[in-house]
Amino acid sequence: MRDVAVIGIGQTKIDEHWDKSLRELAGDAALAAMAEAGVTKVSNVYVGNMLSEGANLQAQLGGLIADWIGQRYSEAVKIESACSSGSAAFRAGFLAVASGEVDVALAVGVEKMTDSPGSEITSSLATAADADWEVEQGLSFVALNALIMKRYLYEYGWAAEDFAEFSINAHENALSNPNARFQLPISKSSYSKSPLICDPINLLDASPIGDGAAAVVLVPANTVSTEAPRIVVAGSAAATDAIAIHSRKSPLWLQAAEISAKKAYAQAGIGPEQIDVFEYHDAFTIVAALSLEAAGFAAPGRGPALAKEGDIKIGGRIPVATLGGLKARGHPVGATGLYQIVEVIQQLRGNAGQTQVTNPEFGMAQNIGGSGSNIVTHIFQRLE
């Protein structure tokens, strides 16, 4: 397999884009990535998207978007694994380039959630859970995560308030990110006063939906000039777990996160201690905690300690959600994985603005589909 480099990134602001169609959003991000990469032609387009068929009444986004960005006749498909669709699309592009068959691939994640002619979004999001065994019982997606959080609090003795710093940190980091949905600080007090959505998850534990798209261009690393720093894929791995939480070994352990992270660390030849920035999947604060644990940054049950002690802040032991995370940047589900990757690359390039981490070499993005059933981990390295 060939080494693969990322040479262009693009993203739209996450917002209620009522003036932009699905293809326009994807096109804005994709064309920005291509312009930055200096390429006018890509042979393969991989689209990460979860909801288009139900919410936007549009299937085959591959052909739709390839055509819209001037790449008619190229190869193009949609890759779907619920909320990890974006990074799964990236991984498909990575494998296509690494295989030797494809020289320029584009991965673009897109989701349009706030203005959808099709099914209602809470119902659409519930398709990420097990239709026969979970949704059939009337459980929404937030309810599933609330059950996990409740058990976590009981098992490890935390209070819900101990999760506040995950959200406070995310909102703080989003303040200077022009692409974030929310640029407003929150405090421990606003967290405590925020209304319960599904006990014990309150409004500020939960990431907001939104419309948005993010994209990258991938090429063989040996085609990129070594005169300037290059960003290469040092690790790429994915794993699944049972979709229905009751079928898993433990509802409190993200087995697929552990497996994919370990594979990615092994490929990169490093451990969690070498990761300088970690874009994790803080769809809910409980997921942030579970993610830090499964990826090796905290012992089981100790995730919230990292937040409480400031370890997750810029300058801390493991900076996370450095441009706002799902919580404050926003969570356009099928696009999120590519936002995470774009942000890691911004950090490794030194282009992360006011929340830049100092001289990062390795950055990790971990994208979680369902309540932990499909998890993709990527490690990127800055080669000087």
Q: How far is residue 278's CA from residue 318's CA, in Å, rounded to a whole number?
A: 7
**How many residues contact its own copies, by CB under 8 A?**
67
Of 75-83, 187-195, 212-220, 283-291: span binding its own copies (CB under 8 A): 75-83
Give me the 251-290 binding string for its own copies, x by CB under 8 A, dash otherwise.
Answer: ----xx--x-------------------------------
Cα separation values, 258 from 139, 269, 275, 297, 352, Å: 26, 16, 15, 11, 27
Cβ neighbours, 10 Å, residue 253: 17
Q: How far is the CB of 82 from its own copies (least distance, A)?
A: 4
Q: How far is residue 315's CA from residue 105's CA, in Å, rounded to a whole number?
A: 34
Q: Which of 277, 308, 11, 353 is nearest to 158 (CA)?
A: 308
DSSP assignment of 132-152, as one string? TTTGGGT--HHHHHHHHHHHH
Of 11-19, 32-40, 53-61, 198-206: span binding its own copies (CB under 8 A): 53-61
- If binding is defined by CB under 8 A, does position 41 make contact with its own copies? no
Q: How far is the CB of 238 from its own copies (least distance, A)?
A: 4
- If binding is defined by CB under 8 A, does position 298 make contact with its own copies? no
- If binding is defined by CB under 8 A, does position 369 make contact with its own copies? yes
350-358, Cβ contacts within 8 angstroms, sequence gap of 24 or more = 352/322, 352/323, 353/176, 353/177, 354/175, 354/176, 355/173, 355/176, 355/177, 355/314, 355/322, 355/323, 356/314, 357/276, 357/277, 357/314, 357/315, 357/319, 357/322, 358/315
Cβ neighbours, 10 Å, residue 222: 11
Considering the complex, state which of residue 141 and residue 182 has its C-beta at the smaller distance from its own copies: 141
Q: Are 30 and 338 in contact (CB under 8 A)?
A: no
Q: How far is the CB of 378 from its own copies (least distance, A)?
A: 13
Q: How far is the CB of 72 from its own copies (least distance, A)?
A: 6
- Strand pairing report for 44-48 and 105-111: parallel
Give the 3-state secondary structure of 275-298: CCEEECCCCEHHHHHHHHHHCCCC
Please identify which residue in 67, 115, 161, 361 interacts with its own copies, judged by CB under 8 A.
67
My answer on whether omega of the bond before 272 falls inside 30° of 0, hence cis, is no
Q: How far is the CB of 65 from its own copies (least distance, A)?
A: 9
Considering the complex, state which of residue 204 and residue 245 has its C-beta at the smaller distance from its own copies: 245
| Longest pairwise C-alpha distance within the chain | 58
Q: Are 335 and 212 in contact (CB under 8 A)?
A: yes
Considering the complex, state which of residue 11 and residue 374 has its C-beta at the smaller distance from its own copies: 374
Of the residues 17, 83, 171, 281, only one is catalytic, namely 83
Of the residues 171, 281, 331, 378, only one is catalytic, namely 331
Q: How far is residue 261's CA from residue 255's CA, in Å, rounded to a whole number?
A: 10
Of 119-148, binders to its own copies (CB under 8 A) are 119, 123-124, 126-128, 130-132, 135
Of 194-253, binders to its own copies (CB under 8 A) are 237-243, 247
Instruction: Considering only CA atoms, give the Rg of the chain.
Output: 19
Considering the complex, state which of residue 116 and residue 177 has its C-beta at the smaller distance from its own copies: 116
Considering the complex, state which of residue 80 and residue 279 has its C-beta at the smaller distance from its own copies: 80
Q: How far is the CB of 346 from its own copies (least distance, A)?
A: 26
Q: How far is the CB of 156 from its own copies (least distance, A)?
A: 24
Our answer to whether residue 198 is catalytic in this structure is no
Our answer to whether residue 378 is catalytic in this structure is no
Q: How far is residue 382's CA from residue 349's CA, in Å, rounded to a whole number?
A: 8
Give me the 77-116 binding string for its own copies, x by CB under 8 A, dash otherwise.
Answer: xxxxxx-----x---x--xx-xxxx---------------
The residues of the shown chain that bind its own copies, judged by CB under 8 A, are 1, 21, 23, 45, 50-54, 56-64, 66-67, 71-82, 88, 92, 95-96, 98-101, 117-119, 123-124, 126-128, 130-132, 135, 237-243, 247, 255-256, 259, 369-370, 373-374
Q: Return the active site residues.
A: 83, 331
